[in-house]
Amino acid sequence: MNELLFSVGGALALIGIVAGGGGVLTYVFRKLFADFGQRLGPNRVGPYGILQFVADGIKLVAKEDIIPARVERWGFRLAPHLTFVPAVLAFSPLPFSEGLIITDVRVGLILIFALAAMAPLGEVVAGWASNNKYSMLGGLRAAAMDVSYEIPLLISAVSVILLAGSASTLEIVKKQNELWFFIPQILGLFVFVAAMIGKVGVLPFDLPDAESELVAGYVTEYSGMRFAFFFLTMFANVFFIAALTVTLYFGGWLGPFGLHLPPMLSFIWFFLKAGVLIFVVFWLWNSLPRVRIDQFLNINWKLLFPLSLLNLVITSIMVAWGVAR
């Protein structure tokens, strides 16, 4: 009974994290976007417009759910769930602090990447089912990007696993007690963040929904709640990049210079660090032009992939000689 309660509670907490976190991030993004563009941003709903995301959510829920006449109805309805559910589940092995983790599995990192690998499925199904050429191109681009960026992503994560000697996210963070992994893994960090941004698909790598080329990519035909799922997934993914990077490279809930907070409060460090990384992602989003699809794939195969392999070799040597650990 307890376990069942825990599972249900955990599931609800997950959805809460994703929906709440994603919602807040849309507000933060709009405010930051406005600041970078020297505009005001949302400022009408609530103090400083902070309730804007609630209003947006209500609007999206209340909106008519339009399914165009000639779409593949089954796939069209399925696709948002195919994107949203893995994105939510991927949060479950992430430790927000030592006690704040929903499932600690021994192969947590592997589980995360397995779930992340499901993302292109939803995008391709959405693109195909929409019966729209822009959607299809967007879905194909999303698939091409996700598949190619998985490889450097995984290889640089493997370096971390080597260094920590475990694939459990809790263990990885605990191993960083003396030294955060971004110092021995500086190369890996670069590859990881670049590949992660590419995988999530925000500017400069937002090719699947490049609005000046493909209108809105695979979400072109979606509206209302189904669109909200895609939208939320994107922002949840931004949060996810930051959270995963913090876990793997910046010591999770551990404070810098031994400034550890008591276990109940140590999630504050986690969210602070994640916040900084999210800011960096938004910053890139707002300042870099979009790359072309061929350049994008070139960056992956000619830069990130060799770098990640090099990093793996260096890490192996370090581990073998006992420099790290």
Contact residues: other proteins, CB under 8 A: 33, 36-39, 133-134, 137, 203-204, 206, 210-215, 285-295
What's the min distance (Å) between Cβ of 34 and other proteins? Answer: 9
Report the C-alpha gap between 158 and 167 in whole angstroms.
9
- Cβ closest to other proteins, residue 47 vs residue 289: 289
Over its C-alpha atoms, the chain yields an Rg (Å, rounded) of: 20
Supply the DSSP symbol for 254. P
Length of the chain in terms of residues written: 325
Please say which residue, 18 or 214, places its beta carbon nearer to other proteins.
214
The number of beta carbons lying within 10 Å of the beta carbon of residue 303 is 14
End-to-end CA distance of the chain: 41
Q: Minimum distance from CB of 291 to other proteins (Å)?
A: 6
| Distance, CA of 251 to chain centre | 18
CB of 212 to other proteins, least distance (A): 4
Q: Minimal distance in Å, beta carbon 38 to other proteins?
A: 6
| Cis-peptide into 95, omega within 30 deg | no
Nearer to other proteins, 119 or 210 (CB): 210
Instruction: Tell me whether residue 65 or residue 211 sits nearer to other proteins (CB atom).
Output: 211
SS3 33: helix
- Which residue type occupies 5? L
Closest to other proteins by CB, 103 vs 286, is 286
We find the least distance from the C-beta atom of residue 127 to other proteins, in angstroms, to be: 13
Q: CA-to-CA distance for 168 and 174, rounded, in angstroms?
A: 10
